[in-house]
Amino acid sequence: MLDNLPRGTITIEEIEMGMTRSLRKVVTDEDIEMFAQVSTDRNPVHLDDAYAQDTIFEGRIAHGMLTAGLVSAVIGEQLPGHGTVYMGQTLKFLGPVRPGDTVFTEVEVIGIDHAKRRVQLDCRCLVNGKKVLIGEATVLAPSGKFD
């Protein structure tokens, strides 16, 4: 591995099929409010209790892309880690994430193209053991070799 690669980065030469990494995060009201501010998505289903009670969710929910951002965090910080370039991501939202929910996010290596440094990752987020988000990501992994 190159000396300048951050600690915890997994290079294309080290990645193996079935490798997984994960994180757990409690989604807070503050997270939702900050995401609304940064994204400019101020849909009241995320921010207004009274409004959200009359929706199909019967209460406030986190932005779907806030949840998807946890997938990005695992990819960008752990697998492969720093130096990874996102090439594509599919997402399917299966259920709401509510303020106070603990989201378990996991990515798993399901394909490797060493010659192109491309890695396919199965991505999932769960709340209380139930999938709330699934998808696949394609990334360009960092290399520890000099080209």
Q: What is the structure's pLDDT at 3?
A: 44
pLDDT for 7 equals: 62
pTM of the predicted model as reported, rounded to 2 decimal places: 0.92
- Each residue of 3-28: pLDDT tens digit? 444 567 999 999 999 999 999 999 99
Select the CATH number that applies to the domain covering 20-140 from these four: 3.40.1080.10, 3.10.129.10, 1.10.3330.10, 3.30.360.10. Answer: 3.10.129.10
- 62, two tokens: 């986190």
